[in-house]
Structure 1
Amino acid sequence: MLLLFLLPWAFLPSQAQNIDPFPDSTQQSVLNYSPLTNQPCPADAADTFVREFTASTQSLHPSEIAYIRTREQDVIAKEWIEWIGAESGEEELGYGPNEELGRLFGQGGRWPRVGMAITGGGLRAAQYGAGVVNALDKRNETSREVGTGGMLQVVSYMSGLSGGSWVTGSLFFNDWPTIRDLVFGDGKGLSGWLLDLPLASPDGLNVFTDENQAFYGSLLWSVMAKAESGIDTSMTDTWARMISYHFLNQTSRSNFFTNETAHGAGQLWSSIPDIPAFRSHLSPLPLVVAASRPVGSNLTTVLGLEPIVYEISPFEFGSFDPKLSAMMRTKYAGTHMRDKKPQDENGCVTGFDQAGFVMGTSASLFNQIFDFAHNTLEMRRDDVDTMIYLLQRQLRSVRTRADDVANWPSPFTGLKPDSFDDSKATWLEMIDGASALENIPLSPMLVNARGIDTIVVVEGSADSPDNWPNGTSILKTQERQQLFLRASHRTLPPMPPTTADFENTGVSSRATFFGCDPKLSPPEWPLVIYLPNQPPPGGEDPVSNSPTFRLVYTLKHTQRFIDQVHAAITSGFTPSSDDPDPDFGVCLKCAALDRGRLPLRFADTTNPNGNSTNPNPNSNSTRTEMIPRSVKCQQCFDRYCYDPSRPPSARDLPPGRKYAFVDPDPQGFDRLSGFLGRAKFGLVGAGVGLVVFVGVLIAFLLWWRKRREKEYEYMVVSQLHERDGEAPWIGMAEAQREHQDTQGQGGYETPVFRVR
């Protein structure tokens, strides 16, 4: 039976955190996943809903400019002094005592602007991102002692894609905790990621247990409520609700199968400014990346590089790609627009930007899994036929438009018809951000107007046979920039030209700095600090290169994973030795600071439409000369900088490394891994196996509830759901109407975080 054959796929890692549940009962329903439609539009909607610009008149949202300026002036400047000038500035970096560092870099110029991009790659990438963040966080005592801790505190922007967006969103919607507390819980308000609870079948293999049925009922109720409001849904919505249960707050082990809370429903990406850490400017500005499938193309293969890449910030949704160059307020995403105006003054939508849906959109890979027309999924034919049948049953249940993408009402209808391929479309088909093999969310970091000097690349892709990165993603980004983004985005620095060169030079397996010595002023490229997932030091068995189809992580595995990544990042690289580099913390500081030596940084020259992104526009008036690189920092650059004229060699990598994955806590899943290996899916993305199962499970549940809707009873979201003997989806339209009425009467507000 197909279901029994696929049930092992249910063992998926989940993540759950628990900030104090929202006390207002109107905020505790999973129905809050439904957007509010037909809302009065703001008075300035016709003028400011959509910003349109060109590559040469590129600008940022005023709220983004204000946030970055305040964070850099009031918070980051002090963090720089603490990190690179702590007690031994002269001895460590060689630029002089602490006060001299401040004079040279903070007053006479400005501190470099740093961005961090966290790769996609499913749950492996989420954990890898967490491990790197932990290694760069000064709140981790070991990180602080070796000198890497502190870099996180000087980051202005953080971008995430697919699994990288999950850890990014999880950090923000749990109020920027330490990784230790976020992943493992703090015994107070945070419950940890609970990776031992399978994502799609949290109560185990039997999907018909009371607990699993309660879980599925809540998921389906959320999605059907959204559909009832008139907003088109798809498989991505159910996927988004699963993500919300685990990555957002309100969910703990004790309430997982109850409806005591909304399990993240109603938490909006545009509400991030209400989070205490963000209000205090203690966190970077988050950006989530998603790709788009040209409307009407029905592509089920890897995308080319031409389709628009979108970004979602707390303030705006849109793209800096020259073909579009337009942004809309995130708060009103979901509103149909034509020629930058709402259809009518009461036609606005709010609540569409559900945090789970934003993260689910960035990880929506369903279009590359199921080709309904041709059955191209590379499995046994009878399995394919059955899966297609189950998915077709789903289409009759809640799908109202494309089922294999994330459906976003287009706010850009009518814009740039000569260049924007979807100008005539009223809906956008959003998909996994890595659908064109750009698995690192670098596009937002290269936007000219942002003027980012240094980019930390957190690379957790699985490109090689042993699931290590090989440069595929960053090379794709470089190719796309050269083909389509020359006018709007900065170029990447020189790097090995092929994936084979990435491996042969060894830079795919160790920390490397790219772009250390620009030729122009301002620099023609940012300095890139490349931190790839790599074998651990000392010959330890690697556990962070878990297979693409890894579906569950025990507590022991997660602990080893996070610790191993932390050790690898803080150890740096010693040529032809298994010993850690005791100076890597110093070298990381040198790299992060290096653009500050220059008299003119890229951001100092970007002043589109009078909106300077430089927090200190007059900074260059007090220093016009380049600061020579210190002897100590030059020694670091000699070791870590990539020089295309003298490329390094993989022969210099630590000789004792092991590359094959070793499960640190086997739980009997070898049979599943063997099946997936034999199936040989021709797919991309590290979360494909997970998404395949989710798609099948969603379809099966929607089909099954048609036949058994009165047979399974469980706790439901309100008194309307508690009718004896009746399944929760009965009366959904009535409940949704009452919910909309309650919201329209002021019973719903954007959640405000209350952290104990």
Structure 2
Amino acid sequence: MYELLLILQLGVLTLVSAVSPSNNYAPAVVQCPAINNGSFLREASSISDQEKAWVESRQQYTSSALVDYLDRVELTDFDAAEFMQNASSPPNIGLAFSGGGFRAMLNGAGHLAALDNRTENADENALGGILQASNYVSSLSGGAWLMGSLIMQNFTSVQQIVYDDNQIKTWDLSWGHQLFADVQAVALSAALALGQLDKVINYLNSWSFTKGGIAEDLAAKQKAGFNTTITDAWGRLLSRQLFPSKNNYLDSSLWSDIRNYDVFKNHQMPFPLVAALGRKPGTYVYNMNSTIVEFNPFEMGSFDPSVNSFADLKYIGTKVNNGKPVDSCINGYDNSAFIIGTSSSLFNEFLETLVCDSCTGVPSLLKPILKFFLNLLRVKYEDVAEYNPNPFYNSEFSGSTNLSSNDTLYLFDGGLGGEIIPLSPLIVKARKLDAVFAFDSSSGWPDGSALVNAYERQFSDQGKENIFPYVPDQENFLRQNLTARPTFFGCDAKNLTALEKDGVIPPVVLYFANRPFDFLTNTSTFKLEYSDSEKKSMIKNGFDVVSRLNMTLDSEWNACVGCAVIRRSQERDGIEQSDQCKKCFERYCWDGTLLPAEPGYVQPMNFDATGLINSTMTLPIVA
């Protein structure tokens, strides 16, 4: 019965220093700063001067970390220090963590731990140091929960949160700490049937108008003159599990304030990017042509032609006309929980995934009630994150009057357009990435569609700024076992000249698909409760995916990754690969093979240590 109530609740509501000047969740009036040309906007023709300067300073740190990594993995016939000293430009590395609820967050935590030299045994048995050598990290939805939680705790490590600090209550997903309160099905059904949103959200845990309650947070924002939607409640609910309990779960924490964190100012973390999608007013359509909007510590905006603008994130609550303030300036709108919630605001998808005629996640008798309620949310724009005033209102750079002429910008889950891995922020030509690690925890067992969509988007109107290497179709991903083991794409720049844009070649993409080694990690996106054992098993399996089962499947695996991340830099400087790296590429690079279509092909759903199989699954248990 509990599982039924959980599905019912989720079907409704699944819908996560300096502080806001209000010292709570509400934005507040501040003095307007001195700004160039009197506008908070700039054209998206390049990265910002702030980002450029920050990455240049970060590169000194990442270059040193990469030398340490390359020395440790013992590349043959290679002097790492000499290579980096003589490189015309050092490798520019980015990491992308997919969405997928707590499944993606926990798998992603294992992936990240395997890249982090602060993790126990990651140096010896995994890819420890790659995180320290990376300039960028991109995330959405469950991946954004992971990164947001770590960043808001001074970019702490997965090791620290999960294994070292037993007093910390963040990431406690067990019974009693889940997102939704136990409810009476009859009372909830009645509230749904009557479309009483105010009563429905009373079933959220921590929903209260008393001090520290979610209701009080939203009331403060409304009192300050700003609308709220279900995404505000969702973000503050997530903060109960992602942020420490101090200061009411960081209720006044701002995403723009990351720029003031010592760990960011000292360039000891990658540059964080969070992705969301824009929805045109009056429509419910989302696809690969939807506008991708990114948040970083300095700005909010998009390289897509529809927006083609970036705004100073710190002042996005300010009412503007073409970026120029028309009233008092506002600070505090970019609440950290609100931005994380925006990236995972997937309520609009429930009409497709929970209450469609063929969907089986909700009992048939409940579907009409839920469908009525969800449609009501959609009509009232309660199913998305509402950014009002619109930071891009009347932007002279915007190519879409649909998004720039409306006083409100509507955003929602960044993965619903098909790019469940947030690759677009990393593959824009302006950032000139050389290597991108793509971690795929999409629904079920991944089939490569996240990469297929990223590849195809570069040919669309919205993807004109994107560059991405060739990939096969989904059937070939499966039949060639490219989801059962890590695979590199775009290994040779000479084969990618047709994809080059303004002299920028697509990066090498290192793809890691979720697959089981010692735990079935294809849990439902709608699973909200994990025991401590389940949580740690999910994380451990994610570590196994990235480490190739603690290096037991390939003792040279970490060296092969080293070969991939230096590849573009070698090609720029005309350096021949070593024999070791050539052999690595023979093992891990997709060679462009496309098998002929197989009519009636059915994806094998079982795994062995190295591939997809049709026989009974046997998981090698690792101590």
Give the letter aligned to residue 642 of structure 1.
Answer: W
Q: Which residue of 2 aligns with 1:94?
A: 76
2:489 corresponds to 1:508: no
Secondary structure of the structure 2 residue equivalent to 1:262: helix
**What is residue 50 of structure 1 aligned with on the other side?**
41
Conserved in 2, the CA contact under 8 Å of 1:571 and 1:580? Answer: yes
Cα deviation, residue 368, structure 1:
2.3
Cα distance in 1 for partners of 2:132, 2:59 equals 10
Distance 2:580 2:3 in 1: 61
Moved more, 164-173 or 557-566: 557-566
* Residue type of the alignment partner of 1:233: T
Find out whether 1:84 has 2:70 as its counterpart.
Answer: yes
The answer to whether residue 610 in structure 2 is matched with residue 654 in structure 1 is yes
Determine if contact 1:365/1:435 at 8 Å carries over to the other structure.
Answer: yes
Cα 1:11/1:418, change in 2 over 3 Å: closer
Deviation at 1:580, TM superposition (A): 1.2
Contact 2:51–2:298 (8 Å) recurs in 1: yes
Q: Distance in 1 between matches of 2:424 and 2:151?
A: 21
2:314 to 324, 327, 331: 331
2:244 is the alignment partner of 1:249: yes
Partner of 1:517: 492
Match of 1:134 among 113, 116, 120: 113
Q: CA distance change for structure 1 residues 202 and 386 in 2, over 3 Å: closer, same or farther?
A: closer
Please name the residue that 2:197 is paired with: none
Distance 1:212 1:147, change over 3 A: closer
SS in 1 for 2:567: helix
1:233-273 Cα deviation digits (max 9, x unpaired): 1111110101111112335xxxxxxxxx3212111000112
Does the CA-based 8 Å contact 1:406-1:431 persist in structure 2?
Answer: yes
- Distance, in Å, in 2 between the alignment partners of 1:493 and 1:391 is 39
The aligned residue for residue 231 of structure 1 is 226
Matched residue type, 2:578: S
- The answer as to 2:269 corresponding to 1:283 is yes
How much does 1:380 deviate? 5.5
Alpha-carbon separation, structure 1, partners of 2:58 and 2:24? 32
1:629 and 2:577 matched: yes
Matched, 1:69 2:56: yes
Q: Report the count of equivalent residues.
A: 577
Out of 214, 224, 233, the residue aligned to residue 219 of structure 1 is: 214
Runs of 5+ unmatched residues, structure 2 = 188-201, 597-602
| Residues 534, 568 of structure 1: 8 Å contact kept | yes
Q: CA deviation at 1:159?
A: 0.5
CA shift for structure 1 position 387? 3.9
In structure 2, what is the Cα distance between the partners aligned to 1:393 and 1:215? 21
Decide whether the 8 Å contact of 2:377 with 2:383 is kept in 1: no
Q: CA deviation at 1:172?
A: 0.4
Q: d(CA) in 1 for partners of 2:163 and 2:10?
A: 19
**Preserved CA contact (<8 Å) 1:509 1:534:** yes
- Please give the alpha-carbon distance, in whole angstroms, between the structure 1 residues aligned to 2:368 and 2:8: 19
The residue that corresponds to 1:168 in the other structure is 147
Amino acid at match of 1:43: A
1:293 matched to 2:279? The reply is yes
Q: Deviations over 1:138-165 (max 9, x none)?
A: 1223220135111111110000011111
Separation in 1, partners of 2:618, 2:239 = 29
**Post-superposition offset of 1:211:** 12
1:309 shift after superposition? 0.9
Task: Compute the displacement of 1:184 (Å).
Answer: 4.3
Q: Distance in 2 between matches of 1:533 and 1:177?
A: 24
Aligned residue in 1 for 2:25:
33
Match of 1:730 in 2: none
Cα distance in 1 between the residues matched to 2:294 and 2:165: 32
Decide which of 589, 593, 609 is 2:562's aligned counterpart.
589
SS class of match (1:237): helix
Tell me the C-alpha RMSD between the 2 structures.
3.6
Q: Which residue of 2 aligns with 1:724?
A: none
Q: Offset at 1:167? A: 0.4
Of 539, 560, 577, 2:537 maps to 560
Aligned partners of 2:20 and 2:253 also within 8 Å: no
State how far apart, in whole Å, the 2-side matches of 1:170 and 1:652 are: 33
Q: Does 1:495 align with 2:495?
A: no
Are the equivalent residues in 2 in contact too, given 1:321–1:485 (CA < 8 A)?
yes
Mean Cα deviation higher: 478-487 or 318-327: 478-487
**SS across alignment from 2:245:** coil
- In the superposition, the TM-score normalised over structure 2's length comes to 0.84
Secondary structure of the 1:291 match is: strand
Contact residue 158 and residue 286 of structure 1 kept, 8 A = yes
**Conservation of the 8 A alpha-carbon contact between 1:531 and 1:569:** yes
**1:143-162 correspondence to structure 2 within 5 Å:** 143-146=122-125, 148-162=127-141
1:207-242 CA-partner distances (Å, limit 9, x unpaired)? 99x997754441111112212221111111110101
CA offset digits 1:111-133 (Å, max 9, x no partner): 20000010000100001110001
Structure 1: stretches of 5+ with no match in the other structure: 252-260, 600-624, 665-756
In structure 2, what residue type is equivalent to 1:437? G
Counterpart-to-counterpart distance in 1, 2:312 and 2:2: 43
Q: Give, in whole Å, the separation in 2 of the partners of 1:338 and 1:264.
A: 31
Aligned to 1:359: 340
1:505: Cα distance to partner? 1.1
Cα shift at 1:203: 6.2
CA positional deviation for 1:52: 1.9
TM-superposed deviation, 1:59:
1.6
Q: Structure 1 residues 513-522 or 498-507, which shifts more? A: 513-522
Shift of 1:484: 2.0
Q: What does the per-residue CA deviation read over 1:588-644, in whole Å, with 9 as the maximum and x for residues that have no partner?
A: 111112222123xxxxxxxxxxxxxxxxxxxxxxxxx41110011111110000011
Q: Secondary structure at the match of 1:474?
A: helix
Mapping of residues 667-706 of structure 1, within 5 Å? none
Question: Quick one: which of 402, 410, 427 aligns to 2:408?
Answer: 427
CA contact (8 A) 1:181 1:192 kept: no
Give 2:437's match in structure 1, choosing from 431, 453, 456. 456
The correspondence of residues 169-184 of structure 1 with structure 2, limited to 5 A, is: 169-184=148-163
Sequence identity of aligned pairs in percent? 29
Structure 2 residue corresponding to 1:121, chosen from 95, 100, 104: 100
Q: Is the 8 A contact 2:39 2:325 kept in 1?
A: no
> Structure 1 residues 521-530 or 154-163, which shifts more?
521-530
Query: Alpha carbons of 1:365 and 1:104: their partners in 2 closer, same or farther (altered >3 Å)?
Result: same
Say if 1:306 and 1:485 are closer, same or farther in 2 by CA, change over 3 A. Answer: closer
Q: Is the 8 A contact 2:457 2:463 kept in 1?
A: no
1:413 pairs, out of 384, 387, 393, with 393
